[in-house]
Amino acid sequence: MSVPEAHSLPAGATPCRLDEVFLEDAARTYVMAVLNVTPDSFSDGGQYFSPEAALDRAVRVAHEGADILDIGAESSRPGSQRLSVEEECRRLFPLVEQVAENVKIPLSIDTYKAEIATMALNAGASIVNDITALRGDPKMAEVVAESGCVLVLMHMLGTPATMQINPVYESVVDDLCAFFEERISYAESFGINRIMIDPGIGFGKTVEHNVEIIRNLKVFRTFGKPVLIGVSRKSFIGSVLGLPVQERLEGTAAAVTVSILNGANVVRVHDVREMVRVARMTDALAGRGCQREV
């Protein structure tokens, strides 16, 4: 694998310190860049499947202003199937070590498997992004607790293979609140205290469910945890605008803006340069602590 030059932050940028995200009055919105090391993700499947392309992507998004890099090797698109530990490991390692050596922003591992999380944390990751919210592997809570890393608890109805088959809620916002109350309590029972929550846009939700969640995002701030949201290029944008996945930049920008205004602390995105600008401008207009002149 050819290794790019180690990344140094752009002039005027400040490194992301994860503890800052957990301050009650966080200074700004944080941008999490997506890096899918998969051949079949819904948005960029195959584009960064080779180790060389993945490492280049990691260095590039850090230079574009990403605060966090989220690396995943198993697609969670609707209808996708579970990946074996062996195959997930083959895709991720030694890539994670290479990224940790060359990119000086916090690394997140997008996995629900305790064995993969352990390897990634040992390789330099500091966040576990678990789409099953600790339900996918009974050993995951212990791994997170022992490491002291940040944990993302995401809501998903069913599994990726089944989640979009007629998702139904009594009240989507109330149901998600009940879910997070139980999952946060479970995580905290293991001594895990640095927790973010993600309502799981597109993970077992209709267009109407997704829109209602974004409109009511402030409700999730009542848990006292940072709210992470992933709206980037999602199918609900395509449904509203009638556009394919590669033409959803403007729709993503609108969804990111409204999410920030409604309380999102971290936005997970594919188009990093553009969404960093959207986040900075939205923060400035909303009066959130902006460290740059506008």
- Residues 3, 17, 283: CA angle, nearest 5 degrees: 105
Q: Among residues 233, 234, 248, 280, which one is catalytic?
A: 234
Torsion over CA: 154, 160, 162, 164 (sign): positive
CB 70 within 8 A of CB 279: no
Burial of 206 (0-12, 13-18, 19+ CB in 10 A): middle
CB 96 within 8 A of CB 125: yes
Any catalytic annotation for residue 248?
no
The residues pairing with 150 across neighbouring beta strands, listed in sequence order, are: 127
Alpha helices in the chain (DSSP H): 18-21, 51-63, 85-92, 95-102, 114-123, 140-147, 172-189, 207-215, 235-241, 249-261, 272-286
Name the catalytic one among 91, 183, 233, 268.
268
Residues 6+ apart with CB under 8 A from 15: 9, 104, 105
Which DSSP letter does residue 83 get? P
From CA 210, how far away is CA 31, in angstroms rounded? 20
280 has catalytic annotation: no
**Tell me, what amino acid is at 183?**
R
List, by residue number, the catalytic residues. 234, 268
